[in-house]
Amino acid sequence: MTSRSRFHLNRQGRAAHVFLIPWQLGFLLVTAVPLLASLYLAFTNYDILNAPEWTGLENFQRMIHDDQFWASVRVTLIYVLVSVPLQLAFALLLALILDRGLKGLAFYRSAFYLPSLLGSSVAIAILWREIFGDDGLINKGLALVGIHGESWLQNPRTALATLIVLNVWTFGSPMVIFLAGLRQIPDELYEAARVDGAGVIKQFRHVTVPLLTPIIFFNLILQTIGAFQTFTQAHIVSGGTGGPANSTLFYTLYVYQQGFVAFDMGYASALAWVLMVAIAVVTALHFLVSKYWVFYGDN
């Protein structure tokens, strides 16, 4: 190495430290220290007014006997397991219909994307309250065909379903990603398949699906992680209670209630760490299983 280029490297190293001052501060103060602090708090009893008191595994033992905790786990898992596959199915279906030079693509794409853009807002959650309420849009529609509907939000059996519908309604953003993925598939592959006598269905099964698996995988990871952290909609629709009968008590809503309503910050930290580990495990499992179904074209 010449002295001149070593000089450049030193200069780059020094410059890098200056460029990275915000990031390093942020990593330390906003991420690393809080992460460790909440790990510590998870083993304490802490109400923000008095000093944290070490209680060992008590918070975690409390979870085992906490009905609300299990209710929130159940609600969140049902939500993730039902709404994410449904949302992705709609996204993929619509992307396939819109693919390959359909006229008006830009219009349809924007129309279907609009709900994704607005879906996480308080305003749309408010709209949902009125749509599925006692005298809401849905029941008015049912009344036209002679069915008398009750409030969908006050019935513990249907309240979660309304939020699943809300998440499925926002299929536009994975759809746009699918559309981009479909465009990457070379026409020659379809032609080759046709020459070999493959019909539309066989082309779909043997060309489209395998080449799209990396995109499906990407969407699956992204939407799953997002669904685990749903908060706004559940908070607004249930007025912050997670009701009726805990049927919309999403996990993050329960963390919020414990931490910022009951100010039981030790327990809330323990709950948050369980969520983080759960998301990490699910993501790791997705990656492990992906070896068996995601096709990267080089094997």
Partner 1 sequence: MTRLKHAGLLVFVAVMIYPLVWMVVSAFKPPEQILTEPGLIPKDLTFENFKEGWHALNRPFSAFFVNSLVVTLASIAGNLFSCSLTAYALARLQFRMRRTYFAITLASVMLPFHVLVIPQYIFFSQLGLVNTYWPLLIPKFLATDAFFVFLMVQFIRTLPRELDRAAWIDGAGPFLTFWYVVLPLMRPALVTTTIFTFIWTWNDFFVPLIYLTRTRVFTVPVALNSMVDSETQSGVGMLFAMSLLSLIPILIFFAVAQKYLIRGIATTGLK
- The Cα–Cα gap between 243 and 63 comes to 19
Identify which of residues 63 and 276 has a Cβ nearer to partner 1 in the complex: 276
Of residues 2 through 21, those in contact with partner 1 by CB under 8 A are 8-9, 11-13, 15-20
Q: Which is nearer to partner 1, 104 or 195 (CB)?
A: 104
Q: In the block, which residue shows the tokens 């969520």?
A: 275
Residue type, 152: W
Select from 71, 75, 84, 176 the one that contacts partner 1 (CB under 8 A): 176
Binding mask 44-83 for partner 1 (x = CB under 8 A): ----x-----------------------------------
CB of 242 to partner 1, least distance (A): 15
**Using the 8-state DSSP alphabet, how is residue 154 labeled?**
S
Question: What would the two tokens of residue 273 be?
Answer: 């760490």
Question: Could you tell me the two tokens for 178?
Answer: 């699918």
Rule CB under 8 A: is residue 34 a binding residue for partner 1? yes
- Please pick, from the candidates 53, 57, 89, 141, the single residue that binds partner 1 as defined by CB under 8 A: 141
Q: Could you tell me the smallest distance in angstroms from the CB atom of residue 49 to partner 1?
A: 11
Residue from 25, 81, 192, 281 binding partner 1 (CB under 8 A): 25
Place of tokens 């906003």: 30
53 phi, psi to nearest 5 deg: -115, 125
Task: Name the token pair of 247.
Answer: 């049927």
**86 and 92 in contact (C-beta within 8 Å)?**
no
Contact 206, 180 (CB under 8 A): no
Beta-bridged to residue 44, according to DSSP, are 54
Choice between 27 and 192, CB closer to partner 1: 27
Residues composing the chain: 299
Binding residue for partner 1 (CB under 8 A) from 57, 114, 192, 245?
A: 114
Among 54, 89, 140, 192, binds partner 1 (CB under 8 A): 140
Q: Is 256 one of the binding residues for partner 1 (CB under 8 A)?
A: yes
Residue 142 lies near partner 1 (rule: CB under 8 A) = no
Among 80, 164, 255, 294, binds partner 1 (CB under 8 A): 255
Residue 92 binds partner 1, judged by CB under 8 A: no
Q: Segment near partner 1 (CB under 8 A), from 74-82, 122-130, 156-164, 242-250?
A: 122-130
Q: Does 100 bind partner 1 (CB under 8 A)?
A: no
Establish if 43 lies at the interface with partner 1 (CB under 8 A): no
CA distances from 63 to 166, 274, 290 (A): 29, 10, 32
Output the CA–CA distances (angstroms, integers) from residue 95 to 89, 90, 180, 182, in the order listed: 10, 8, 9, 8
The continuous run of DSSP H or E covering 39 comes out as helix 33-41
Please report the beta strands in 11-90, taking only residues with DSSP state E, as ranges in sequence order. 44-45, 53-54
Q: Binding segment for partner 1 among 58-66, 76-84, 147-155, 272-280 (CB under 8 A)? A: 272-280
